[in-house]
Amino acid sequence: MITDVHTHFWTREHQRSPWTDGLGRVSKTLASDEIDLVTVESYRRGVAPAERTIVFGLQAQASGIMVPNDAVAAFVREVGGQTVGFMSVDPTRHDAVDEVERCHADLGLVGIKMGPIYQGTSPLHPMTMRVFKTAERLGLPVMIHQGAIFANAGRLPDANPLLLDDVACTFPDLRIVVAHMGHPWIYETVVVMRRHRNVFADTSAIASRPTVLANAFSAAKEYGVLSKVLFGSDSPMVAAASATAALERVVARMRQIAHTPITDEELHGILHRPSFDLLGIEAPAAPSPALPTELTRADPNRLLTAPGRKP
């Protein structure tokens, strides 16, 4: 069973400048549909052949994207099947912890997507650390974009995966997935994974960077953490079918030129990793019936204007 731990939901109404300016720089060669709009139909095309998926939006005011968590939860219900949703919170908002607790208790979202550099902050800032503390307390895994980005928000020094060593030391029971293997800092990601039992990484996005991907795989194998590398596509930017094909091409080439190649069995292990089990996520027992929603008309400011919540 292929599990895709890194897929996105958003509509055009959730995005503004500078996000929309930078999105044009993202390669579309491995995408199956438009990358700025996700519908139920395009999502299902984008994640095939994965049988289980994790989907999330992103809340990053500094970068110009704000996907309401209520819309993510509604999208998960409509997709049904073996898809689960992660919330996203912007740690620079005063109500970030309240939003984590609400999304966990009321919306059934089972993890958190963070992107401190997109959010104009650092993973070590007290505002961000309070979110990690809440996630550990509630048993919620965190997917964190800790690496290069296409937008101009934040500081690259704050995006180095080495900073997660302090996070993992402070919150040893917190399950962390470093998105995109933390590229370009793949070696830093690998040594943090080796040091901390609850730190993982995923392969999302780097399918379009074969040299980075090959070096990341070799480093993970040499440091003994290949078993902690999870498959992720980065749909809609990279379709899961395109990602798996790219991984197969890179691994085949590695067998010809790499000092530390990856075997077919090891690639199979990455693609079929029991990622839900490793992250403490309970998969839906059976496909859920699709529920009517108004996703394409979702108000991007809904979170900011929810009853009883102050902007």
- Which residue ranges form the domains of the chain, and what is each CATH number? 3-288 (3.20.20.140)
Structure tokens at 18: 């500078």
Q: What is the pLDDT at residue 288?
A: 42
Exposed, middle or buried, 310 (CB in 10 Å: 0-12/13-18/19+)? exposed
* 57 has a pLDDT exceeding 90: yes
Beta strand segments in 141-266, E: 142-144, 176-178, 199-202, 229-230
Residue type, 255: R
Q: How confident is the model at residue 302 (pLDDT cuts 50, 70, 90)?
A: very low
* 299 has a pLDDT exceeding 80: no
* 118 has a pLDDT exceeding 70: yes
**Residue 309 CB contacts under 8 Å (≥ 6 apart), including other chains:** 95, 98, 303
Q: Identify the weakest region by mean pLDDT among 21-25, 257-261, 298-302.
A: 298-302
Q: Please report, for residues 22, 143, 144, 170, the alpha-carbon distance to residue 196 in angstroms, rounded to integers and kept in the order given.
A: 34, 15, 15, 11
Question: What is the mean pLDDT of the segment spanning 180-206?
Answer: 97
* 149 has a pLDDT exceeding 70: yes
Looking at the chain, the whole-number percentage of residues with pLDDT higher than 90 is 82
pLDDT tens column, 228-286 = 999 999 999 999 999 999 999 999 999 999 999 999 999 999 999 999 999 999 987 65
Q: Please report, for residues 23, 136, 137, the alpha-carbon distance to residue 105 in angstroms, rounded to integers and kept in the order given.
A: 33, 15, 13
Q: How confident is the model at residue 85 (pLDDT cuts 50, 70, 90)?
A: very high
Question: What is the mean pLDDT of the segment spanning 64-71?
Answer: 97
User: What does the DSSP assignment read for 9-77?
Assistant: ---GGGB-TTHHHHHTTS--TT-SS-SS---HHHHHHHHTT-SEEEEE--EEGGGTEE--HHHHHHHHH
Separation between Cα atoms, residue 228 and residue 195, nearest integer Å? 12
* 142 has a pLDDT exceeding 70: yes
Separation between Cα atoms, residue 33 and residue 11, nearest integer Å? 13
Q: Tokens 């997935």 belong to which residue?
A: 177
